[in-house]
Amino acid sequence: MQESDLRELLARFPSVAQGHLPTRIEPMPRLGEKLGVDLHVKRDDQTGIALGGNKVRQLNYYLGAAQAEGADTILITGAVQSNFVRTTAAMANRLGMECHIQLEERVPDADEAYRENGNVLLDRLLGATLHHFPEGEDEAAADAALGELAEQLRSQGHKPFIVPLSANRPPKGALGYVEAALEFADQCRETAPFDEVFIGSGSALTHIGLLVGLRAIDDTTPVQGVCVRRDRDAQTARVTQRIDDLASLMEIENPVTPDDIRITDDTFAPGYGRMSPAVEGALSDAARLEGLILDPVYTAKVLAGLIHRAEQGDLTGKRVLFWHTGGQPALFAYAGKLTAK
C-alpha cells in the first residue's frame, strides 16, 4: 500500500487531531555507549496534553468517534495509576465533555502514595468523577460495570461514550499508532532506518498499530514488544487477535506475518506495576546518563528489556529505537519504594 493510500484510509475515521505531533527522535549517546548500541528515543512522552504520553494518539480516534455520536460524557476503566484515564479526563475537558473514571485494583500491597499521588492526584485535579472496581484481572467484568454506569448516566439524560478496555471491541485507538507509523517512516527517511524498535505491549493497541502501519506500507523494521501486563504466551495471543481485529476495522488484508510478532517477557516479573532490580536499573540509567525520566510500570520495563538484549550481545553495533510512551506521573506513586533503597 502507498503511504498516501494509508493516509486516505485513516481520514475515513473521525479524529479530534489533538497533541503536539510529530514527536522528536533524539539520540541517547551515553547509554548507547554503555550498551554498545546506536541508541535513540522516540519522545511520545511529549505529546503535550496533561503531561503527554502515547494515549493522546489513541484518544484522538476514540474521542473523534464520541463526537461523531454526539456524546457528552466519556467513561473509561483502568488501573489506579492508569495513564490512559488521566489523559482521557484531560482531553474530555478540552472538548467540553464530562469524564467518569473507574479505577481497578491491579497492584497488590498498594500504599498511600500509590492511591493518592501520581495519576490519581491528576485525575482529581482534572475534575473527573472517580469510581472503584475491586478486581484487576477481569477486563470483561470491568467493562460490564462501566456499561452499567453508562446506563445510569443515560437514564439521567446524558449521552455516554465508553472507551473500552477488553479485547472484544473494535481497536479504534490503534489507528493512532497506524498514523504514528507514517510519522516514523517520514522521520527515518530524513535520518536513517532503524534495525529494531522496542515498544511496550500491554493493551497492545500501541504495539499493533505501529506494526500494522509499518507492514501496510511495506516497512519491515522489526518491532519488539516488551510485556508490561501479562506473560509472553498470553500477550502473543492477544496481539495476534488484536492485529486481526485492526485489519478488519480498517478493511484491509492483514499485512502482518506470525514472524513479525516479536514479544519478550524477560523483564516482566514480578508482574504488572511491580518493580524489579532490572526496572530500577533502567530508571536509574535513563535518568543519570540521559536526563530522561521513565515510569516503573511501562517505559522502564521496556528499556530494561532493551538493556537485557544488549547485554546478551544481540544489539551490538545496531541502530535501535526505544519508543518512550510517557507515564511519568506514575513515578510519584512509587516514591516510598524508590526512596527506601
Q: How far apart are CA 315 and CA 331, in angstroms?
A: 28
For the chain, how are helix, strand and coil distributed in percent, rounded to 5? 50, 15, 35
Give the count of beta carbons closer than 10 Å to the beta carbon of residue 113: 18
Q: What is the sign of the dihedral through the CA atoms of 339, 45, 20 and 82?
A: negative
Q: Which pTM was predicted?
A: 0.96
Q: Which of 15, 82, 201, 203 is catalytic?
A: 82
Amino acid at 92: A
User: For helices 232-250 and 175-190, what crossing angle results, to 10°?
Assistant: 90
Amino acid at 172: K
Grid coordinates belonging to 33: 555507549
- Residue 138 is predicted with a pLDDT of 83
Q: How far apart are CA 236 and CA 86, in angstroms?
A: 27
Known catalytic residue: 155? no
pLDDT in tens, the chain (341 residues): 999 999 999 999 999 999 999 999 999 999 999 999 999 999 999 999 999 999 999 999 999 999 999 999 999 999 999 999 999 999 999 999 999 999 998 888 778 888 999 999 999 999 999 999 987 678 888 889 999 999 999 999 999 999 988 888 999 999 999 999 999 999 999 999 999 999 999 999 999 999 999 999 999 999 999 999 999 999 999 999 999 999 999 999 999 999 999 999 999 999 999 999 999 999 999 999 999 999 999 999 999 999 999 999 999 999 999 999 999 999 999 988 786 55
CA angle, corner 297, sides to 270 and 32, nearest 5? 100
Three-state SS annotation for 181-206: HHHHHHHHHHCCCCCEEEEEECCCHH
For 146, the 3-state DSSP assignment is helix
Which domains occur in the chain, in start order? 3-53+171-339 (3.40.50.1100), 56-163 (3.40.50.1100)
Residues 6+ apart with CB under 8 A from 12: none
Grid coordinates belonging to 53: 504520553
H or E element that contains 177: helix 175-190
Q: How far apart are CA 172 and CA 308, in angstroms?
A: 32
- Residue 149 is predicted with a pLDDT of 96
**CB of 308 within 8 A of CB of 266?**
yes
- Residue 232 is predicted with a pLDDT of 98
Q: C-alpha 306: how far from its chain's center?
A: 17
- Residue 340 is predicted with a pLDDT of 54
- Residue 99 is predicted with a pLDDT of 98
For 176, the 3-state DSSP assignment is helix
| Tens-digit pLDDT profile for residues 178-212 | 999 999 999 999 999 999 999 999 999 999 999 99
